Structure 1
């Protein structure tokens, strides 16, 4: 049963990785726009979100 659960988690993770990469790209664009407009609040929010997304990606790729 444990192997079945691990297999399902791996398959779900493999499906999540491309979506996660798109989310990172979008958030990087949002950060770039915020930097250009000098919007401190959005810059901070985007950096925090990127850190969470990065951690999730590292976890899934491991």
Structure 2
């Protein structure tokens, strides 16, 4: 049963990683725009979101 659960998690992770990369790219572009516009609140929000996405990516990579 444990092997089945691990296989399902691995498949979910394989599908999630490409989406996660797109989300990171979008958030980086948003951060760039916020820096250009000097919007401090948006910069903080983007950095927080990027940190969350990065943590998720590392967690998924560890499962694979």
TM-score, normalised by the number of residues in structure 2: 0.95
> Does residue 1:13 correspond to 2:13, yes or no?
yes
> Does residue 1:38 correspond to 2:38, yes or no?
yes
Q: Can you give the 5+ residue segments of structure 1 that lack an aligned partner in the other structure?
A: none
Give the length in aligned residue pairs. 62
Give the root-mean-square deviation of aligned CA atoms. 0.4
CA distance in 2, matches of 1:12, 1:40: 35
Equivalent in the alignment of 1:26: 26
Flag as ranges the 4+ runs of structure 1 deviating above 3 A. none
CA distance in 1, matches of 2:35, 2:58: 26
Flag the structure with more relative contact order, 1 or 2, with Cα contacts below 8 A and sequence separation at least 6.
Answer: 2
Deviation string for 1:2-60 (max 9, x for gaps)? Answer: 11011000000000000000000000000000000000000000000000000000111
CA distance in 2, matches of 1:54, 1:29: 15
